[in-house]
Amino acid sequence: MEIVVGVLVILCLVAVIQWQLGNRKRQAAEQELERTMQLFDVSLEVNSTIRKQDLLVKIMETSSRIMNAEASSVILVDEEKGELFFDLALGAKGDEVREIRLKIGEGIAGWVAQTGKSVKIDDAARDERWSSKVAKRVDYPTRNMLCVPLVSKGKIIGVLQVLNKRGDAPFTDRDLQLLESIASPTAASLENAMLYDALEKSVHALKVTTAAKERMESELRIATDIQMGFLPRKSLSLQSRAADAEGETVGDEGLLRIQAEAHATIRPAREVGGDFYDYFRIDENRLFFVLGDVSDKGIPAALFMAVTMTLLKGKMSVALTPGELLTAVNEELYKDDSTMFATIFCGVLNVETGQLLYSDGGHCPPYIVRANGEVELLKGKKGLPLGVMDDMLYMDNEVMLDLGDRIIVFTDGITEAEDQLQNQYGFIRLKDVLVKEQASKPEQLLSQMVQDVDLFADGAVQSDDIAVLIIDRNAIP
């Protein structure tokens, strides 16, 4: 009898333990779902505007709400002066706060900007790094705080901090991890907004000083630098996992590995222009790329280009196809009274399989150079350029890039380049160059394409922007 009772007790204990484990797993899953929804909320907020002041307000309000904190602030880095500053400060003493400058390394925010490390402070006044410079100006006591760096493209552009958790409770390590997760998409959106803000200010300055030729040329050079800041400056290489000859993923070493490489060049007809390109990794095995051409030239085209690129990068996600992306961006760009538009070609390449999904918004058809030497125009279902028509539905097309294949995307600044007699360069001359240079490295091919256009033009003034993007898919030796 005692044995039976003992067995029953053990079974009961096992059942209780299993229930507790199941309950913990359920709680963990619910917490992870809540965190994912919070990050999704943040992503929607920070991608809803490219205006820096509006974005800063959204960042602070969203951070305070999600972290259950009394206040939040974004402090930006002034690289030239080596200082931190408040670009936006709310409240009655906002003007006084904007006058405050912190040296890199000064205070908790300065320490985070200097080291790139996040910090959780349970008692701010007793922390040796604490600086009361801001608190004295606004007469606001700080009990506890979290402070994390805002890092974009490997560079610290500012810090994000939240102050005083509500309910007199301390911040937790999980709170710090959540704020770090919030900081990642925030930093990318903030840098784009800062670039756009700088470009807009530069353009405004140009309009004010059009009478002064020397000043205009100087500002145009600055605008050129800012515009080029939107474009990738380095090539990109994305490697897939190992695969066998049939393309099946394997884990053994020594088998076939595949990589895709992206290279591009651009040469505006004026100091600033409307051609643009971009490429970046969207997950461990897929490469996104885009090349476009704004209808106008100069400053108006540069602004339209900046808005278009910001929307493309902000809205692109793992779940979107190229056609869905262009449809969403077109909805934002279309205005009844606008006369500007942009032709565009974008694609997502699966490096491992070679599948290329692409969408064409009225752009020049790219060329594909096959490994066997064949050169063919890529023709698929086309849509109208971005900004031409509201409620435009852009289609997806599919093509396979085998090992050794490459795709060359270009703007009409290549094919419509003119010589002294106004003859156009055309597709036939371009194809001849691609056939001749089919074995060339991407950098050499880019150079040869532009040189051949210049040779044909024979001194004629460049009338249109030139941009070329090359994607190679090769086996790694």
User: Among residues of the chain, what percentage have pLDDT more than 70?
Assistant: 77
Q: For residue 169, what are the contacts with CB-CB under 8 A and spacing of at least 6?
A: none
Residue 28 has a pLDDT of: 44
β-bridge partners, 151: 156
Q: For residue 310, what are the contacts with CB-CB under 8 A and spacing of at least 6?
A: 50, 192, 193, 196, 230
Question: 132 and 271 share a domain?
Answer: no
Q: How is residue 253 annotated by DSSP?
A: T
Average pLDDT over residues 445-456: 95
Q: How many CB atoms lie within 10 A of CB 131?
A: 18
H or E segment to which residue 356 belongs: strand 355-361
Higher pLDDT, 195 or 326: 326
Which of 72-81, 137-146, 204-213, 392-401 is the least confident region? 204-213
Asked if residue 345 lies in contact with residue 358, where contact means CB atoms within 8 angstroms, the answer is yes
Higher pLDDT, 337 or 159: 159
Question: 314 and 463 share a domain?
Answer: yes
Higher pLDDT, 465 or 359: 359
Question: 142 and 84 share a domain?
Answer: yes
Confidence of residue 242 (pLDDT cuts 50, 70, 90): low
Q: What CATH code is carried by the domain that includes residue 117?
A: 3.30.450.40
Q: Is the residue at 332 inside a domain?
A: yes
Question: 42 and 108 share a domain?
Answer: yes
The residue among 160, 188, 216 that closes a domain is 188
User: Among residues of the chain, what percentage have pLDDT more than 90?
Assistant: 36
H or E segment to which residue 329 belongs: helix 322-333
Question: 273 and 376 share a domain?
Answer: yes
For residue 133, give its domain range. 38-188
Q: Is the residue at 31 inside a domain?
A: no
Q: Is the residue at 181 inside a domain?
A: yes
Confidence of residue 244 (pLDDT cuts 50, 70, 90): low
Chain position carrying tokens 């704004």:
294
Q: How far apart are CA 271 and CA 406, in angstroms?
A: 31
Residue 13 has pLDDT above 90, yes or no: no
Q: Quote the pTM value.
A: 0.57
Residue 474 has a pLDDT of: 93
**Tokens representing residue 273 in the block:** 């222009």
Q: Is the residue at 373 inside a domain?
A: yes
Q: How far apart are CA 186 and CA 191, in angstroms?
A: 9
Confidence of residue 135 (pLDDT cuts 50, 70, 90): low
Confidence of residue 133 (pLDDT cuts 50, 70, 90): confident
CB environment 214-244: b (16+ within 10 A), e (fewer): eebeebbebbbebbeebbeeeebebebebbe
Confidence of residue 213 (pLDDT cuts 50, 70, 90): low
Confidence of residue 240 (pLDDT cuts 50, 70, 90): confident
| Phi, psi at 471, each rounded to 5° | -120, 120
Residue 31 has pLDDT above 80, yes or no: no
Arithmetic mean of pLDDT over the chain:
82
CB environment 40-73: b (16+ within 10 A), e (fewer): eebbebbbebbebeebbebbbebbbebbebebbb
**Tokens representing residue 74 in the block:** 């974004």
Q: Is the residue at 33 inside a domain?
A: no
Q: How many CB atoms lie within 10 A of CB 118?
A: 17
Asked if residue 351 lies in contact with residue 285, where contact means CB atoms within 8 angstroms, the answer is yes
Asked if residue 426 lies in contact with residue 452, where contact means CB atoms within 8 angstroms, the answer is no
Strand 367-369, strand 355-361: pairing: unpaired
The residue among 188, 205, 221 that closes a domain is 188
Total domain count, the chain: 2
Question: 184 and 257 share a domain?
Answer: no
Higher pLDDT, 115 or 34: 115
Residue 138 has a pLDDT of: 65
Higher pLDDT, 392 or 168: 392
Higher pLDDT, 24 or 302: 302
Residue 50 has a pLDDT of: 73
Q: What CATH code is carried by the domain that includes residue 426?
A: 3.60.40.10
The residue among 165, 188, 211 that closes a domain is 188
Residue 423 has a pLDDT of: 93
Higher pLDDT, 28 or 424: 424
Residue 120 has pLDDT above 90, yes or no: yes
Residue 308 has pLDDT above 70, yes or no: yes
Asked if residue 475 lies in contact with residue 421, where contact means CB atoms within 8 angstroms, the answer is no
Q: How far apart are CA 121 and CA 163, in angstroms?
A: 10
Confidence of residue 92 (pLDDT cuts 50, 70, 90): very low
Question: 181 and 252 share a domain?
Answer: no
Highest mean pLDDT out of 75-79, 230-234, 336-340, 432-436: 432-436
Residue 22 has a pLDDT of: 55
Q: How is residue 69 annotated by DSSP?
A: E
Q: Is the residue at 210 inside a domain?
A: no
